[in-house]
């Protein structure tokens, strides 16, 4: 293990998605994006649905890997980064069509002005998620 690496684990209820040593992690925190480097202070935060990326030394040298997470928690202690996400997908596995339908649906729901707070929150969550998924695919 090289020096100044953090151990990143991304787990979802269905499986352990990532477990490796990385140099930097960027996560969508609830109050803004966070960039986490070596020796980051201990932190516990919730995440909003959005894009997460991490940098590590892969086979082809340094790589940045992008993922989409749908909310969850982030904990950093002693250079161990734990991401608890409800779902996490790698960029290249995203179904663009499905994301687009989800986006249209969420927008439709949000257009309704009589929405209860609860429903509004749910639809907004879905909208964030759809946007995050599409953004990633279009960037690349």
| Residue found under tokens 């759809």 | 130
Interface segment toward another protein; rule CB under 8 A; list 55-63, 79-87, 99-107, 130-138: 79-87
Interface segment toward another protein; rule CB under 8 A; list 40-48, 58-66, 91-99, 104-112: 40-48
**Does residue number 82 form part of the binding site for another protein (CB under 8 A)?**
yes
- Where are the alpha helices (H) located in the chain, listed in sequence order? 96-111, 117-139
* Residue 140: CB minimum distance to another protein, A: 26
**Does residue number 13 form part of the binding site for another protein (CB under 8 A)?**
yes
**Does residue number 75 form part of the binding site for another protein (CB under 8 A)?**
yes
Q: How far is CA 35 from CA 13, 32, 41, 96, in A?
A: 25, 10, 12, 27
**Does residue number 37 form part of the binding site for another protein (CB under 8 A)?**
no
Interface segment toward another protein; rule CB under 8 A; list 37-45, 60-68, 93-101, 124-132: 37-45
Q: Residue 28 has which token pair?
A: 């969508």
| β-pair partners for 135 | none
CA distance 29 to 72: 9
């Amino acid at each position: 293990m090289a020096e100044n690496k953090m151990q990143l684990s991304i787990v979802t209820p269905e499986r352990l998605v990532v477990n490796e040593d990385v140099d930097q992690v960027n996560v969508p925190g609830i109050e803004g994006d966070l960039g986490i480097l070596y020796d980051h202070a201990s932190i516990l935060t919730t995440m909003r649905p959005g894009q997460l990326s991490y940098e590590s030394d892969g086979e082809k040298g340094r790589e940045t890997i992008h993922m989409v997470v749908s909310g969850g928690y982030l904990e950093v202690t002693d250079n161990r980064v734990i991401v608890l996400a409800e779902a996490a997908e790698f960029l290249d596995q995203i179904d663009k069509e499905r994301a687009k339908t989800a986006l249209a649906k969420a927008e439709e729901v949000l257009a309704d002005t009589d929405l209860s707070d609860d429903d509004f929150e749910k639809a907004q969550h879905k909208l964030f998620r759809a946007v995050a998924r599409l953004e990633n695919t279009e960037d690349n």
